[in-house]
Amino acid sequence: MKDLPVPGLTRASFTSTRSGLPAPRLSVGRSGGNANLEVQIALYRALMISPMEMRVLDENARHFGVSILEAMEKAGRGVADVLLREFHATGKPVAILVGTGNNGGDGLVAAFHLRNVCKVTVVLARDSQRFSTHEARHQWDRVRGLVPTAEAGQAGRVLHEADLVVDALLGIGAAGAIQEPYRALIAAINASGKPVVSVDVPSGFGGDVAVKPTATVTMHAAKAGMTEANSGKIHVVDIGFGGEVGSLCGPGDFLYYPVPGSDSHKGENGRLLVVSGGPYTGAPAFVAFGAYGIGVFVPHTRTIGPRRSSQHSPATVAATSAPKPPRCGASCAISKCPVFWSDARRPS
Confidence of residue 20 (pLDDT cuts 50, 70, 90): very low
pTM above 0.85, yes or no: no
Q: Decide if 178 contacts 208 (C-beta within 8 A).
A: yes
Domain ranges in the chain with CATH number 3.40.50.10260: 67-240
Q: Say what the alpha-carbon torsion angle 156, 232, 83, 236 is, to the nearest 10 degrees.
A: 130
Q: Tell me how far apart the 2 most distant CA atoms of the chain are, in Å.
A: 81
Q: Decide if 147 contacts 115 (C-beta within 8 A).
A: yes
* 55-59, 112-116, 135-139: least confidently modelled range: 55-59
Confidence of residue 230 (pLDDT cuts 50, 70, 90): very high
Q: What percent of the chain has pLDDT over 90?
A: 47
Beta strands in the chain (DSSP E): 93-98, 119-124, 149-151, 164-168, 196-199, 215-219, 233-237, 271-276, 298-303, 340-341
- pLDDT surpassing 70 at residue 213: yes
Q: Decide if 339 contacts 288 (C-beta within 8 A).
A: yes
> 168 phi and psi, to 5 degrees?
-125, 45
Class of domain 67-240: alpha beta
pLDDT score recorded for residue 193? 96
- pLDDT surpassing 80 at residue 176: no
Collapse the DSSP code of 239 into the 3-class scheme (helix H, G, I; strand E, B; otherwise coil) and give the result: coil
Tell me, rounded to whole angstroms, the distance of Cα 76 from its chain centroid: 17
pLDDT score recorded for residue 129? 93
> 135 phi and psi, to 5 degrees?
-65, -45
Buried b or exposed e, range 30-47, using 16+ CB within 10 angstroms: eeeeeeebeebbeebeeb
Higher pLDDT residue, 240 or 165? 165
What is the C-alpha separation between 65 and 228, in angstroms, rounded?
34
- What DSSP string runs through 154-186? GHHHHHHH-SEEEEES--TT--SSPPTTHHHHH
Strands 149-151 and 271-276: unpaired
Higher pLDDT residue, 46 or 152? 152
Average pLDDT, integer, range 182-186: 97
